[in-house]
Structure 1
Amino acid sequence: MSEFEENSAPEFEPTGPVSRTMKKLDTAANMISRTALVLMLLAVLTQVFTRYILNDPVQGVIGITELYLMPIIVFGSMSYLEMQGGHVRVGILYDALPNRLRHGLGVVLRIISASFFALVAYTASDEALNAYSRGYFTSGDIEAPLVTTLIIAPIGCALLTLRLLINAVGDWQAAFAPDNSAGGIK
């Protein structure tokens, strides 16, 4: 088995209605993120074509890309990546730990991470509400309410917070499972 295959899936999989619902939300957010990536590709290709072939570039591509598509790509895929176990980690010491201790450490690290991203979600949503209450608009090629772009980050961070908590529960179950040699919790 290659290193990528070994690290591409989580070591545990908590089950239950909350986990299944969260998996559907993560997958939907990731599909929206992938769609945004394709739209960004098409928009940039269209702008390049109209600029260099037709000498009349399409306006607003940079604004749409930086205000909407890029944030959707980043924040829409974070939770799905955590679900797949795809975030970067330094495994030299972590992989050498006994299985039970590794899962116990996973609980602590995921709760700390969830707390951080919950704080980011709270702060970003507060900023979005502030922009909405003051009636702020974007500047540049596109004039739209600023809240429409500022709301993307707190949604993505909230999804990641929930996924981290679900994975912390899975780590907790794996740490205290009677047979800890099995990778998944069924």
Structure 2
Amino acid sequence: MPPNDLDPQEDGVLSPSVGLHGPLGRAMDRVDTWANFLSRAAMTIMLVLILIQVFTRYILNDPIEGVIGATELYLMPIIVFGSLSYLEMYDGHVRVGILFEALPDKLRAGFNVVLRLAAAAFFALVCYGASREALKAWDYGYRTSGDIDAPLVTTLVIAPIGCVLIVLRLLVNAAGDVQRLRDATDRTD
């Protein structure tokens, strides 16, 4: 989180400067923070499980089963898709900064709107495709293979949920960019 992308609140907590700052923006911030908490919890659980797996394999010579399955089927997708919208909440995704920062504020805000809407469309398509796969797995009763025997839909729903969150966050941030663009235009008139 670069310091110039944050606004201090009255209680000293840093809040994102992108996106909307009204009730909708605050609600989306809470949802993204909750999803990021789940992502961090999944990472912690994965760390603990792998440490236990290493201990039981090399010290006790009796490894526990299901760690690799749980990690690749559930924990890693939660880590990735749970943190996407949180990172966008702080405008932390990669971009060509040297070129982008050299642009005037109005042009930068306009590009932000276009880029965020394009990214939202992309993630909406990913969500659509992932949702179709999850529904197919549900309809046909597909099960996971390997150490864990569970319905495959339980792992396939993680991606669409994460994609919905990033689409909503991108739309909220694009609306905030439009709002800032309108405010900048009103000040110059």
Q: Tell whether 2:57 aligns with 1:59.
A: no
TM-score, length basis structure 2: 0.90
Q: Which runs of 5+ in 2 are unaligned?
A: 7-14
Separation in structure 2 between the aligned mates of residue 11 and residue 32 of structure 1, nearest angstrom: 23
Match of 1:128 among 125, 128, 134: 134
Separation in structure 2 between the aligned mates of residue 95 and residue 132 of structure 1, nearest angstrom: 46
The aligned residue for residue 5 of structure 1 is 3
Please tell me whether the aligned partners of residues 7 and 86 of structure 1 are also in contact (alpha carbons under 8 angstroms). Answer: no
Query: Could you tell me the percent identity over the aligned residues?
Result: 61
TM-score, length basis structure 1: 0.91
The aligned residue for residue 150 of structure 1 is 156
Higher relative contact order (CA 8 A, sep 6+): 1
Shift of 1:15: 1.8
The aligned residue for residue 75 of structure 1 is 81
Q: Which runs of 5+ in 1 are unaligned?
A: 181-186
Q: Tell whether 2:102 aligns with 1:96.
A: yes
Separation in structure 1 between the aligned mates of residue 44 and residue 167 of structure 2, nearest angstrom: 26
Separation in structure 2 between the aligned mates of residue 6 and residue 15 of structure 1, nearest angstrom: 17
**1:109-146 deviations in Å (ceiling 9; x for gaps):** 10010011011111101110000000000000001000
Secondary structure of 1:133 counterpart: helix
Shift of 1:90: 0.8
Query: What amino acid sits opposite 2:160 in the alignment?
Result: P
**1:135-168 deviations in Å (ceiling 9; x for gaps):** 0000000010000000000000110000000000
User: What is the CA RMSD across the aligned residues, in angstroms?
Assistant: 1.6
> Do the aligned partners of residues 76 and 4 (structure 1) sit closer, same or farther apart at CA in structure 2, a change above 3 Å counting?
same
Q: Tell whether 2:182 aligns with 1:176.
A: yes
The aligned residue for residue 144 of structure 2 is 138
Please tell me whether the aligned partners of residues 34 and 73 of structure 1 are also in contact (alpha carbons under 8 angstroms). Answer: yes
Shift of 1:51: 0.5
